[in-house]
C-alpha cells in the first residue's frame, strides 16, 4: 500500500461522509432500523457506507474491504484489508448527542497502521500521516486543501492522578471496578472512537473497554492512538489487540498511554 496515496483518499472520504451524515442529522426526522444484533442503524449509516465503499473500491480495487454495514457478506478476513465504520456511535447520533465518528483504517498483518477518525458534529478530525504519525487537523477542514495540523503525542501520565475516559452508552459495574484499581484524578465520558482520540491527544490517560466491540469500531481509533505513541492491548493478558479475527469480534481491551502503570484485570 502506498501511504502517500492512501491518506488523502481516506481523509477526503471521511469529510464527504461527514457532510452526508450531518445533512441527515439536521433533518427533522430520520429512519432508525434495528439490526439482527439489536443495534440501531440509520439512513446516515447506510449513506455514509455507500459513499466510502464506492470511493475505496475505486481507488484501491485490489485491497480487501470490510465495512460494518456489509459485514454479513464477508466471510473471514485476511491479514491486510481496509476496514470502515461509516458511523460509529449510532446511539449518540439518534439521541443527537454529537459524539459520533466516521472511521476508516488500513490493517496490515493484523495491525491497524493508518487511519482517520472524523467527528463531524464536533468539527474534530484525527488521522495518521503517511509516515505513521498522528495529527489533528484544525480549521476549515476543506476537502481538497489540508489545513493546519497539530502533531499528537500521548500524555506523560502521572499514575497518582490519572485521567480516565469511558463510554457514554456502555458504562457498567465491571468497567467501574477496573477503573477503581487506579488513582483517578478525573473522568470523562465520550461516545464512539473519540475515546481513543482523547488518549492520543493527551486529554486522557487510559480507556478501558469491558464490553462488546467489533474490529470496525476500533481499528481507526487504534491506528490514531498508535501513531501518537499509545497502545491497545487485550484486557485479559495485556497482549496486543490484533485484527483479522474470524467474525470480527474484539475481546475486552485497554487503550492507554505507555506511562500508565497498567493493572491486571
For the segment 75-133, what is each residue's pLDDT rounded down to a tens digit?
555 678 999 999 998 777 777 788 899 999 999 999 999 999 999 999 999 999 999 99
- Domains, the chain, in order of start with CATH, read 3-151 (3.30.540.10), 162-256 (3.40.190.80)
* pLDDT surpassing 90 at residue 138: yes
| Residue 92, pLDDT score | 79
For CA atoms 45, 214, 247, 51, give the dihedral sign: positive
For the segment 42-71, what is each residue's pLDDT rounded down to a tens digit?
788 889 999 999 999 999 999 999 998 776
Identify the residue with better confidence: 114 or 171: 114
Amino acid at each position: 500500500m502506498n501511504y502517500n496515496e492512501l491518506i488523502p483518499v481516506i481523509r477526503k472520504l471521511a469529510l464527504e461522509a461527514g457532510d452526508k451524515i450531518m445533512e441527515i442529522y439536521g433533518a427533522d426526522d430520520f429512519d432508525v432500523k434495528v439490526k439482527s444484533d439489536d443495534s440501531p442503524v440509520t439512513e446516515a449509516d447506510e449513506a455514509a457506507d455507500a459513499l466510502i465503499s464506492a470511493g475505496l473500491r475505486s481507488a484501491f480495487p485490489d485491497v480487501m474491504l470490510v465495512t460494518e454495514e456489509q459485514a454479513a457478506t464477508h466471510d473471514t478476513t485476511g491479514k491486510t484489508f481496509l476496514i470502515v465504520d461509516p458511523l460509529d456511535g449510532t446511539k449518540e447520533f439518534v439521541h443527537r448527542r454529537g459524539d459520533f465518528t466516521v472511521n476508516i483504517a488500513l490493517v496490515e498483518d493484523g495491525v491497524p497502521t493508518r487511519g482517520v477518525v472524523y467527528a463531524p458534529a464536533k468539527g474534530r478530525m484525527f488521522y495518521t500521516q503517511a509516515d505513521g504519525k498522528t495529527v489533528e487537523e484544525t480549521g476549515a477542514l476543506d476537502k481538497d486543501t489540508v489545513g493546519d495540523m497539530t502533531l499528537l503525542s500521548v500524555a506523560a501520565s502521572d499514575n497518582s492522578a490519572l485521567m480516565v475516559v469511558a463510554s457514554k452508552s456502555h458504562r457498567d459495574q465491571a468497567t467501574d471496578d477496573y477503573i477503581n484499581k487506579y488513582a483517578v484524578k478525573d473522568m470523562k465520558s465520550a461516545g464512539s472512537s473519540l475515546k481513543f482520540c482523547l488518549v492520543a491527544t493527551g486529554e486522557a490517560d487510559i480507556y478501558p473497554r469491558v464490553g462488546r466491540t467489533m474490529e470496525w469500531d476500533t481499528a481507526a481509533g487504534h491506528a490514531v492512538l498508535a501513531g501518537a505513541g499509545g497502545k491497545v492491548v487485550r484486557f485479559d493478558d495485556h497482549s496486543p489487540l490484533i485484527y483479522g479475527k474470524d467474525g470480527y469480534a474484539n475481546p475486552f481491551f485497554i487503550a492507554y498511554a505507555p506511562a500508565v502503570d497498567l493493572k491486571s484485570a
